[in-house]
Amino acid sequence: MEPLAQELRTFIIDNFLFGDASGRFAFSNDDSFQDHGIVDSTGILELVCHLQERYAIEIADAELIPDNLDSVEKVARFLERKQREQSRAA
């Protein structure tokens, strides 16, 4: 697993599943957070705050969409894209 995806996965499990990703809360990196009951809409905002702080990126309201934030894989891809955009702009 990519280090970034692993890091995000650890954050999700620690903060939203209180460390327990077994049994009914097991999920893969492609599983939808909302469909699998992993993170709700409030949790998504907590995740966004974490991404902004931890990776020093700015996330606009228009970017708060499931395509960017609804699975570990999607978040990892979104984050990599944001980092590329910010380094080009710098």
Partner 1 sequence: MTWASLTERASTLARTPRLLLVQKLLRRVPLRPVDVGKLCFLQLDGVPTVPRAMLRGHARVRFATANDVAALAALQDKAPLFRARLAEGDRCIVALVDGRIVGYEWFSDNPVHRETAWGYSITIPGGYIYAYDAYIEPAYRNTGIWLRFKAHLAEWMAGSGKRGVLTFVDYGNWPSLRTHLRFGFEPTETVLALRVIGLRLFRRMRAVSAAAWSYLAWLAMHPPPLHLHHAARVLHAVAAVAHR
Binding residues for partner 1, rule: CB under 8 A, are 14-20, 23-26, 34, 37-46, 48-49, 52, 61, 64-66, 69
69 or 76: whose CB is closer to partner 1?
69
3-state DSSP assignment of residue 62? helix
Question: Which among 12, 42, 8 has a CA at the least distance from the CA of 25?
Answer: 12
> Minimal distance in Å, beta carbon 29 to partner 1?
16
Distance separating alpha carbons of residues 84 and 28, to the nearest angstrom: 25
> Minimal distance in Å, beta carbon 4 to partner 1?
21
Distance separating alpha carbons of residues 69 and 77, to the nearest angstrom: 9
> Minimal distance in Å, beta carbon 18 to partner 1?
4
Distance separating alpha carbons of residues 17 and 25, to the nearest angstrom: 8
